[in-house]
Structure 1
Amino acid sequence: MKAYILTLLLSVSSLHLLWSQPFLGQTKNIQSESLASDQQIHVYLPDNYEKGDKKYPVLYILDGQWFYLNGIAIQKTLRGENVLPEMIIVGVDMKSRQVHDSILNNKWDEYASFIKKELVSYVDQTYRTNQDRVLFGWENNAFLASELIIRESSPFTGAIVSNGGSMDEKMVESFNKYSNDQKPKYLFMANSDKDIYTVRYSNNFAKDLTEQNFANLTWEYRKFNEETHESLPYLSMYHGLRFYYHNYGSIVYASIDDFHQKGGIPYLREYFRQRGERFDQDTEIDNSTKNTLIWMAWKEDNFSSFDLFMKEFADVLDTKRYASAYWQNRLAQFYLKYGDVVNAITYFNRGIQKYPDPKYLAKMHAGLGEAYRSKGDRKLAVKNLKMAVSCATQNNDPKLADYESLLKKK
């Protein structure tokens, strides 16, 4: 029993130390005139924050004493920025359930003013921030987050409203008054039919939003009916961020059919145009997407789409990725398989001349011989098949017999 208690104490001690480590952020006290008291916040800075002068979006988490670590976990478990960008995370500590309920019941307007004016101003002045600000609120704070994204001129461009939320006539009037002067806003709402305490508020909120049809607000309401009142916040935060940043990363297709069903090349160009303009990125289709589509068409044995991508994305073929005998041979062999001997000859010759890798020389010469045979040029066909046999002999190629057989047929 003593050993068990000691282990437990060490675990608690380790957790306390973990909280104080730099990667979990800084703790700050802000003097709030609105609330006439100090307010404690926790601030997490991205891993690369100190390595440059980049400006970052900010995720503001109400009830940070409960959910601040959720925001950090989402950041820490992502690999790369193709799903979500690195973010500054600010957790607003409401200290205890009693303080939480007291503030929201008795000082609603004051607390809203603190969040909207004092807190955002402090963070912008203290850290390198851009104009993307997402606010997360659960339960009581879901109603506050609803108000802060819709009512009055708001500094927030997005809100994640979990297990609650509502809208009244004053909020509608306010949004209509200010919406034309602000960036487009995004609202993600989440609840569960198992949350018998708040789901009716969320349902009514979604109904009201549908009826209003705000032009400058993009919103979504999702039910996670496997979750309960207490278990939903982590999921809603993650999915809310995915919703807000739905077009942040490169577009990913499930298949070539998926590519065509979503609108093909015109849709792809428009996606990157909108993405670039919204997040100040390049508006051209990125090389990663071009490479993936070429590879996917080859993998699915879809020559018509492969040929389309090779023509549309010709610029990517001169990049480092394709600077190898492996890639030149792969492209050439696919062209040869579908009878496009002109392109097959082009890529076989490029591979032989620019990337004379012994591992692929026999394959490329054999393919080139087959391409010339199809073209009716017997002389060049024989020449290259002899080269294939020679290279295979020198490198103990297990396909030597195959190349010799091809040569005999000529």
Structure 2
Amino acid sequence: MLKQHFLLILIVSLFVSNSLLAQSAMQVGELKTFYSEILGTDRTIQVYLPDSYDDSERKYATLYVLDGQMFFLNGVAIQKSLHGETLLPEMIVIGLVMEQPERNEVFRNQWDEFKAFVQKELVGYIDQNFRTNGERILFGWETSAYVSAEVIMASGCPFTGAISSNAAYIDQNMIDSFNKQVSDIKYLYLANTEKDIYTIASTTQAVENLKANDIDNLVWDVRLFNDEIHESLPYLSMYHGLKFYYHNYASPSFSSIKDFEERGGLPYLNDYFKQRGERFGMSQEIDYATKNTLIWMAWNQDEFSAFKQFMTEFEDVLGTPRYASAYWQNRLGQYYLKYEDFDSAIPFFERGIRDYPDDEYMAQMYSGLGLSYLGNDDKKRAKQNLKLAVQAAEKTSDQNLDVYKEQLKKVK
């Protein structure tokens, strides 16, 4: 069965994608050549190093791109466009150059040797010459997709994840062999399109075999991009495959407070960061980005009870530079004032006036402070601060001057 799939794809390669394979990627990173004892020939690879590589001693995850002559730049672009540490870690990207007609000759005559080369010599060369951390993802398209699927299921596989676009082959023997292995968790992402009439059957069969078995230590998913065709899909599948592999790397995002609560609220959030920390060696504490986002979302969606909960639970984030301004002190104080939580509002107004004197917000902060004291029935302090609000507004010709005067008049 594998041989039939393989021969079909070789035929398709010659007629459908020959023009793509003939294109050479523009120069990004470095080209390196080394001799393969297994294949008995020199192999050329493209190497992209992250921006931080030369200025650090860090070790990096590695993305191996088969058919680098077509898709190496895509891997680099994903790194650049997703801003490194935000959604994905910075990665070393390796592109294995496989121009035609050599590509089909290798796949036709040196199939097993090529897989051994990828697993042993290629990985060994990269690990010896660059700072890698053992996290390796293998991307393959079309015939190379068979390679990526077979390699991730193989005994002693050095890769932690694989992306197979526009083809795959996984049979029962491969699954049984995988289940006998004692290994860490592996990730496999399969992508295809119904429009790829030459390869969709192989992906479908692989998915059926995966679904029919309980497979220890394999996390897998499949997605059909039926708007795409044979040539366009690999660009999407690499992106979505990396997102699948790094599904719990980025800070979690929520569409609403209801969404946050339905996912499990704070217990869910604590568990997410615990698992993320264990998997990637990162802090297990909820990060500031998530805390800031939840506070802002509660304010923006006018969910006061959630806002107050987050302000209490995430009190530490309020001491970060983000909130070191009159703008934020006034904004937070005004929201507490809106819900007549005067005791919570007062410290923000006082801190803003004391630590961040800013003409643009002084009248608003004095007014907020005065009204908060008035809400606590402290008319003396209310009057003092509302007078200061009027004076600050007069100084800057504030358009709300009449509002502040009216507030002061009511106190008198």
TM-score by length of 1: 0.91
Q: Which residue of 1 aligns with 2:53?
A: 49
Q: Does 1:27 align with 2:28?
A: no
Whether 1:284 aligns to 2:285 is yes
Q: Counterparts of 1:261-272 in structure 2 under 5 Å?
A: 261-272=262-273
For 1:108, the equivalent position in structure 2 comes to: 111
Q: Which residue of 1 aligns with 2:394?
A: 393
Q: Secondary structure at the match of 1:212?
A: coil
Instruction: Tell me how far 1:282 sits from its aligned partner.
Output: 1.0
| Contact residue 171 and residue 206 of structure 2 kept, 8 A | no
Residue 40 of structure 2 corresponds to: 36
**Quick one: which amino acid aligns to residue 219 of structure 1?**
W
- Displacement of 1:106 after TM fit? 2.0
- Aligned 8 A contact 1:59 1:89 in 2: yes
The 1-side partners of 2:153 and 2:263 are apart by: 32
Alignment partner, residue 342 of structure 1: 343
Structure 1 residue 225: Cα displacement: 0.2
Q: Is 1:75 matched up with 2:76?
A: no
- Given residue 73 of structure 2, which amino acid in structure 1 is its aligned partner? L
Is the 1:151–1:172 Cα contact (8 Å) retained in structure 2?
no
Amino acid at match of 2:173: K
Q: Deviations over 1:303-343 (max 9, x none)?
A: 01101110110011111111111111111110010111110
Q: Percent identity?
A: 53
Q: Provide the C-alpha distance between the structure 1 equivalents of 2:84 and 2:136, rounded to a whole number of angstroms.
A: 20
Whether 1:226 aligns to 2:202 is no
Q: Deviations over 1:41-90 (max 9, x none)?
A: 11111222212111111111112222222212222333342112221111
The answer to whether structure 1 residue 151 and structure 2 residue 154 are counterparts is: yes
- TM-align CA RMSD: 1.6
Q: Deviations over 1:9-59 (max 9, x none)?
A: xxxxxx98x834xxx022222211211222221111122221211111111
Task: Map 1:62-211 onto structure 2 (within 5 A).
Answer: 62-96=66-100, 98-178=101-181, 180=182, 182-211=183-212
Please show how residues 347-362 of structure 1 align to structure 2 within 5 Å. 347-362=348-363
Unaligned runs of 5+ in 1: 1-14
SS in 1 for 2:151: helix
Segments of 4+ in structure 1 off by > 3 A? none
Does the aligned pair in 2 maintain the 1:135–1:156 contact within 8 Å? Answer: yes
* Kept after mapping to 1: 8 A contact 2:150/2:170: yes
Task: Write out aligned runs for 1:242-261 (5 A).
Answer: 242-261=243-262
Q: Is the 8 A contact 1:151 1:170 kept in 2?
A: no
Contact 1:272 1:285 in 2 (8 A): yes
How many residue pairs are counted as aligned between the two chains?
A: 389
Moved more, 317-326 or 113-122: 317-326
Moved more, 253-262 or 315-324: 253-262
Indicate if the aligned counterparts of 1:152 and 1:171 stay in contact, CA closer than 8 A. no
Deviation of residue 203 (structure 1)?
A: 1.0
Instruction: Answer yes or no: is the 8 Å Cα contact 2:349–2:369 preserved in 1.
Output: yes
Whether 1:313 and 2:314 are equivalent positions in the alignment is: yes
SS of aligned partner of 2:212? helix
Are 2:336 and 1:329 aligned?
no
- Conserved 8 A contact 2:363-2:392: yes
C-alpha separation between the residues in 2 aligned to 1:132 and 1:122? 15
- Quick check: 252-261 or 397-406, which moved more? 252-261
